Amino acid sequence: MIPAKFEYKKATSVSEAIALLDEYGMDAKVLAGGQSLLPAMKLRLNRPGVLIDIGGINGMNEITEEGENLVIGANCTHAEIAGSELVAEHVAILAQAAATIGDLQVRNLGTIGGSLAHADPSADYPAVVLACDAVISVQGKKGSRTIAATDFFLGIFNTALEEDELITAISFPKVDKGTYQKFYQSASRFAVAGVAVVWSGDHVKVGITGVADTPYRANAVEEAYDGTGKAASKAVDGVEVMSDHFADAEYRAHLARHMVRKALEG
Amino acid sequence: MGKYIGKSIKRREDIRFLKGTGRYTDDIKLPNMTHSAFVRSPYAHAKIQNVSTAAARKADGVVAVFTAEDGCGEYGVPCGWQVNFKNGDTMREPVHPLLAKGKVNYLGEAVAVVIAETLAKARDAAELVDVDYEELPAVTNPRDAMNEGAPLVHDQWADNAAFDWCIGNDRIAVEEALEAAHHVTELKCRNQRLAPNALETRSYIADYDVNNDKYTLYSSTQNPHLIRLLLCAFVLGIPEHKVRVISHDVGGGFGSKMFHYTEEALLTWVSKEIGRPVKWTADRSEAFLTDAHGRDHVIHAKMGFDKDGKILALLSDEYCAMGAYLSTLAPAIPTYLHGTLFQGVYTTPLIHLNVIAPFTHTVPVDAYRGAGRPEATYLLERLISKGAQELQMDSAEIRFKNFIPPFDGVSQPGYQTQVALQYDSGNYEGTLTKALEILGYEDFKKEQDKARKNGKLLGMGISTYIEACGAAPSAVVGSLGARAGLYEVGHVRVQPTGKVNVYTGSHSHGQGHETVFAQFVADALGIPMEDVQIVHGDTEQVAFGMGTYGSRSLAVGGPAILKSVDKVLEKGARIAAHKLEAAVADLEYAEGKWTVKGTDKSVSFGDVSLTAYVPHDYPEGLEPGLDFSSFYDPVNFTYPFGTHIAVVEVCKDTGKVDLKRFIACDDVGNVINPMIVDGQIHGGVAQGVGQALLEEVVYDEAGQMINGSYMDYALPRADDLPFFETSNTVTPCPHNPLGVKGAGEAGAIGSTPAVVNAVVNALAHLGVTDIQMPLTPQRVWKAMQN
């Protein structure tokens, strides 16, 4: 469990991190909480030449209320999010999801920015950012921009982030009512099917993770929603469902529909 | 009961474990020590075309690189148990090389080892070893390994069978009884392959001392003396008195650290070659790939019943994987530790088991907590519960009908089974009765009816198990193919001040010997427990020993120590008689002193021990000193038994099993420390539940292990388990002086079928009669859909 040799760079500011990313390009990896990256490096499945540690950058782990939004710094840990009073008050579904991630050690170190950038298809946050219509703030050498959550996830471990870009914060519109329902994989405790539902008036927004190789908004469910759980039958419409030894496609599709129903029925 | 026996005394060893000051092999750093990294096969089966080590040898910090070409491992590591074909042919025994030569036969098999100044440098250089492989088709399932045309693990034989063996009554008689039976219950299942997952991974340091031409091997083993014997006499051909094996604290093993592994022998050889100490500690991935796995039986069994539910006959045909090579005890596990338990706790008059043990392109399979007995218990307990379900009988009632009646082994004889063993003592209905009381069986039935009406899936499963522990009478196991005796050694050294060192050949890897052994020695000598120190795990301190496995330490190691205690007291009495000017026959010994009967004249244990070492005024002709060693070879195995009951609720939407209650009523004979026995039961039950619901090593078609990490291999966690309701009955072992039977494996043996029976019971009204382990949500959900 010893990683291949790498160089370690500690960034003290976002701009320094971006400069380093620009300098080292594909050879560099950004280290946030390290809870996915470091195990992969120890197994030598991932062997970056340079690690750019953004963990010490000031101001990246704050949770602030900005009008109708709650802005979460990218370096906020799952434990900080799960335990935050502000999150509990304004985007409770996010705290609910954060509390289901990994175990206490993982939650104490892993960060929301790291998780989103890593884009594991079974991670929990993607379902929530999709259902909340969160906006992801990123910064790169060309400057800052924002990416809508629905545009962010492109595939397995693949996002709309450019090579030199860093997630700095995630902005969540405040949520009146929402719920995250997760069926755990028994070994890793990632989501076999994770469903986030956010209500706005009579409508719902439904984000699903763990089911396809890219987390997605279940548009068919949203359109068919009639105030009951019936629309859940459309949870995997048009989706290629993943299959592994814990859950084949048939069972996983069933779980997705079941978890959507459970979420819709509140 | 004495001052200490029967009391839940806190474990002495826990102070260092809880403070993090235990001394595991990997904690040891010797001066000038090197580190090693293995180059392991990425294929389950491949020809090795070429191994190029030039780049690795030149890498920074590299001391040496070795491959099979360097002359190590010609004899390989030996197998310790021979099980022949039923037609008399000798067991097929391939050489198990220290480093693969020409061909690799399992994923993770070592091809080369790199020795370097640091572990990081060894790992880096290992990546520079270039091995050309030609991948070959592999077979990992033991049933498939016997198919016509299956890839051969060892080309010198026509098929993959290591042996084809049977036990019990004549097969034709059993088949005829099944033919004539009122009902035959059939079970086709796999007792799935498990990875042992000890908390401490395997670790070795070999240190060759050129000045004394002497080797020291530090090893995380359950079995220091046996490792030394195998290493010296079989693998490396070095003199036994020139090797010391030291095993300090060992962090669990579950059997997997009993065996002599190739890395132990190779490092010992390497240490002399390089003239420096060398260390290797498995990382978790290596543990998954190279620790001997457990179970892996493919089973087709039948149980015949009469119309009242009485068992008439039992027949099982099994394919039990050996893996690529025969590990130390592998052939014994699915045979003499499995078939001999087919009587169970029932009066079944006709029993036959046939075992074909194929080589497979996998890591070797060997003993894992329970070792053969959980597999027997699973089969029996599933069959009888499935039989009850099919006959529409109550699963408790059918067991009461079939139990062997109680016998104490003293006034009543032992029970002779159809499968070689004679049980020592038992009261099987006793534990079932008590467990049902704890459950509240009548209330449960009402609760279940109510739950079903509300659409809930509530189920209860029983398992009434027996196991054979305390291995074992040497002559018996010798006649069954063991290549070792299975006695134990106990040495009691009384120091001049009356303090006592006890040396035992058994070796704790978490069990708590230092506490339990001190309890009964202190009671036997009538001295404070603080005055007794237990020493184990060093071949130069302990005369000899056969290690710890099969719940044998207390049942076999305990009496060996007591024999030496008796010798101490016998000699002490002669010294005391001299001091008291009385006859030995007139003395009695209690509470640490000899007293002349009917007087207040006495002399203490401490006075006598001082006299033994300062023999100025001393019995004529008596040797000084108070120091005795004894060997104890038991007359029989011990047979713990018990009842486990699981209560589960199955989620109808997801198939997820919620274990709501777990009741364990075990009879392990006399209990020295109830807290430790409880701990053993708890741990065993957790492991057994793990097998029932979560664990399985999965290989793909090419023989790649697809779940060799904790991201994919599910172990039970605290929140998967309820609070266990443990209790016991006491039926002492009649043939050892402590009356103990052993508790290390009971939990893992009894629990697995109880959980599966409970899940099937929860779904019985849907027509479900069996589900393959592990009962993952997916499998349970699919069973409900059909």
ipTM given for this complex: 0.96
User: B534, B542, B737: which is closest to B632 by C-alpha?
Assistant: B737
What's the half-sphere exposure (Cβ side, CA atoms, 13 Å) at A11? 27
* pLDDT value of residue B123: 96
User: In whole angstroms, what is the distance from residue B146 CA to residue B106 CA?
Assistant: 17
Cβ–Cβ gap B781/A254 under 8 Å: yes
CB B678 within 8 A of CB B746: no
pLDDT above 90 (res B298):
yes
Q: Which two tokens stand for residue B201?
A: 């991974």
CB B107 within 8 A of CB B703: yes
Cβ–Cβ gap A248/B283 under 8 Å: no
Cβ neighbours of residue B88 under 8 Å, at least 6 residues apart?
A: none
Does the bond joining B334 to the residue before it have cis omega, within 30 degrees of 0? no
* Residue B482 β-bridge partners: B81
Residue from A2, A259, A262, A264 to probe the interface with B (highest B Cβ count within 10 Å) = A2
CB B395 within 8 A of CB B761: yes
What integer is the mean pLDDT of B736-761? 97
Beta strand B130-135 pairing with B46-52: antiparallel
pLDDT above 80 (res A165):
yes
Cβ neighbours of residue B550 under 8 Å, at least 6 residues apart?
A: B337, B367, B371, B469, B470, B471, B472, B742, B744, B745
Q: Which of A5, A44, A188 sits opposite B712 (nearest CB)?
A: A188
What integer is the mean pLDDT of B631-647? 97
**Amino acid, single-letter form, for residue A193:** A
Cβ–Cβ gap B776/A186 under 8 Å: yes
Helix segments in A125-241, DSSP class H: 125-132, 149-152, 219-224
CB A120 within 8 A of CB A37: no
pLDDT above 60 (res B1):
no
Residue from B279, B652, B781 to probe the interface with A (highest A Cβ count within 10 Å) = B781
Nearest CA in chain A to B719: A186
User: In whole angstroms, what is the distance from residue B703 CA to residue B150 CA?
Assistant: 13
Q: Does A248 touch chain B (CB under 8 A)?
A: yes
- Å from B547 to nearest chain A CA? 31
* pLDDT value of residue B472: 87
* pLDDT value of residue A1: 76
User: In whole angstroms, what is the distance from residue B178 CA to residue B302 CA?
Assistant: 8
Cβ–Cβ gap B710/A188 under 8 Å: yes
Nearest CA in chain B to A248: B778
Cβ–Cβ gap A248/B710 under 8 Å: no
* Residue B699 β-bridge partners: B705
User: In whole angstroms, what is the distance from residue B299 CA to residue B320 CA?
Assistant: 8
Cβ–Cβ gap B778/A246 under 8 Å: yes
Q: How many angstroms from the chain centroid is the CA of residue B203?
A: 19
Cβ–Cβ gap A251/B778 under 8 Å: yes
Nearest CA in chain A to B697: A245
User: In whole angstroms, what is the distance from residue B496 CA to residue B611 CA?
Assistant: 8
Q: Does A186 touch chain B (CB under 8 A)?
A: yes
Considering only CB atoms, which chain B residues are within 8 Å of A5? Answer: 120, 124
Say if residue B702 is exposed, middle or buried (CB neighbours under 10 Å; 0-12, 13-18, 19+): middle
- Å from B272 to nearest chain A CA? 27
User: In whole angstroms, what is the distance from residue B539 CA to residue B549 CA?
Assistant: 18
- Å from A235 to nearest chain B CA? 15
Q: Which two tokens stand for residue B332?
A: 């014994």
* pLDDT value of residue B345: 98
pLDDT above 80 (res B526):
yes
What's the half-sphere exposure (Cβ side, CA atoms, 13 Å) at B649? 13
Long-range contacts of B53-57 (CB under 8 A, 24+ apart): B53/B112, B53/B129, B55/B128, B55/B129, B55/B130, B56/B112, B56/B114, B56/B125, B56/B126, B56/B128, B56/B129
pLDDT above 90 (res B786):
no
What integer is the mean pLDDT of B419-430? 97
CB B203 within 8 A of CB B279: yes
Element containing residue B214 per DSSP (H, E): strand B214-219
What integer is the mean pLDDT of B488-506? 97
Cβ–Cβ gap A2/B778 under 8 Å: no
**Amino acid, single-letter form, for residue B727:** S
User: In whole angstroms, what is the distance from residue B98 CA to residue B102 CA?
Assistant: 13
Beta strand A143-148 pairing with A135-140: antiparallel
pLDDT above 70 (res B63):
yes
**Sign of the alpha-carbon dihedral angle for B62, B66, B72, B77:** positive
pLDDT, chain B, mean: 97
What integer is the mean pLDDT of B80-87? 96
User: In whole angstroms, what is the distance from residue B627 CA to residue B500 CA?
Assistant: 10
User: In whole angstroms, what is the distance from residue B298 CA to residue B307 CA?
Assistant: 29
Considering only CB atoms, which chain A residues are within 8 Å of B705? Answer: none
* pLDDT value of residue B648: 98
Q: Which of A2, A245, A248 sits opposite B119 (nearest CB)?
A: A2
What integer is the mean pLDDT of B386-390? 98
pLDDT above 60 (res B597):
yes
User: In whole angstroms, what is the distance from residue B59 CA to residue B328 CA?
Assistant: 36
What integer is the mean pLDDT of B594-618? 97
Residues B692-723 have pLDDT tens digits of: 999 999 999 999 999 999 999 999 999 999 99
- Å from A46 to nearest chain B CA? 14
CB pairs under 8 A between A and B: 51
User: In whole angstroms, what is the distance from residue A265 CA to residue A195 CA?
Assistant: 12
pLDDT band of residue A266 (cuts 50, 70, 90) is confident
User: B256, B186, B191: which is closest to B221 by C-alpha?
Assistant: B256
User: In whole angstroms, what is the distance from residue B629 CA to residue B569 CA?
Assistant: 13
Q: Does A263 touch chain B (CB under 8 A)?
A: no
Q: Does A70 touch chain B (CB under 8 A)?
A: no
User: B614, B585, B615: which is closest to B598 by C-alpha?
Assistant: B585
**Sign of the alpha-carbon dihedral angle for B154, B160, B166, B171:** negative
B46-52 β-sheet, strand order:
B103-104, B46-52, B130-135
Q: Would you put residue A155 in left (φ > 0), alpha (ψ -120 to 50) or beta?
A: left
* pLDDT value of residue B73: 67
**What one-character DSSP code corresponds to residue B255?**
T
Q: What's the pTM value of the predicted model, to 2 decimals? A: 0.97
* φ, ψ at B688 (rounded to 5°): -65, -40
Cβ neighbours of residue B154 under 8 Å, at least 6 residues apart?
A: B92, B94, B105, B160, B359
pLDDT band of residue B2 (cuts 50, 70, 90) is confident
Q: Which of B283, B653, B710 sits opposite A187 (nearest CB)?
A: B710
Q: Does A193 touch chain B (CB under 8 A)?
A: no
pLDDT above 80 (res B517):
yes
* φ, ψ at B681 (rounded to 5°): -65, -45
* pLDDT value of residue A60: 96
**3-class secondary structure for B499-511?**
CEEEEECCCCCCC
Q: Does A166 touch chain B (CB under 8 A)?
A: no
Residues B233-252 have pLDDT tens digits of: 999 999 999 999 999 999 99
- Å from A86 to nearest chain B CA? 29
- Å from A149 to nearest chain B CA? 27
Considering only CB atoms, which chain B residues are within 8 Å of A246? Answer: 712, 776, 778
| Residues of B engaging A, defined by a Cβ cutoff of 8 Å | 119-120, 123-124, 127, 283-285, 653-654, 656, 694, 698, 706-707, 709-715, 720, 776-778, 781-782
pLDDT above 80 (res B670):
yes
What integer is the mean pLDDT of A90-105? 97
Residue from A47, A183, A251 to probe the interface with B (highest B Cβ count within 10 Å) = A251
Q: How many angstroms from the chain centroid is the CA of residue B279?
A: 26
- Å from A2 to nearest chain B CA? 6
Q: Which of A43, A183, A258 sits opposite B285 (nearest CB)?
A: A43
What integer is the mean pLDDT of B493-510? 97
Cβ–Cβ gap A188/B694 under 8 Å: no
* Residue B217 β-bridge partners: B206, B245
Residue length, chain B? 786
Tell me the percentage of chain B whose pLDDT exceeds 90: 98
**Sign of the alpha-carbon dihedral angle for B565, B570, B571, B574:** positive
User: A29, A33, A72, A66: which is closest to A50 by C-alpha?
Assistant: A29
Cβ–Cβ gap A187/B707 under 8 Å: yes
Cβ–Cβ gap A43/B119 under 8 Å: no
Cβ neighbours of residue A250 under 8 Å, at least 6 residues apart?
A: none
pLDDT above 70 (res B478):
yes
- Å from B590 to nearest chain A CA? 54
Considering only CB atoms, which chain A residues are within 8 Å of B120? Answer: 2, 5
Cβ–Cβ gap A187/B715 under 8 Å: yes
Q: Which of B120, B653, B776 sits opposite A246 (nearest CB)?
A: B776
Q: Does A183 touch chain B (CB under 8 A)?
A: yes
pLDDT above 70 (res B122):
yes
Nearest CA in chain B to A188: B711
Cβ–Cβ gap A1/B120 under 8 Å: no
- Å from A65 to nearest chain B CA? 36
- DSSP-derived secondary structure for B647-675: EEEE-TTT--EEEEEEEEEEE-BS-S-HH
Q: How many CB atoms neighbour CB B135 within 10 A?
A: 15
* Residue B462 β-bridge partners: B645
What integer is the mean pLDDT of A248-261? 98
Considering only CB atoms, which chain A residues are within 8 Å of B127? Answer: 4, 44
Considering only CB atoms, which chain B residues are within 8 Å of A251? Answer: 777-778, 781-782
Considering only CB atoms, which chain A residues are within 8 Å of B653? Answer: 258, 262
CB B685 within 8 A of CB B369: no
Does the bond joining B472 to the residue before it have cis omega, within 30 degrees of 0? yes
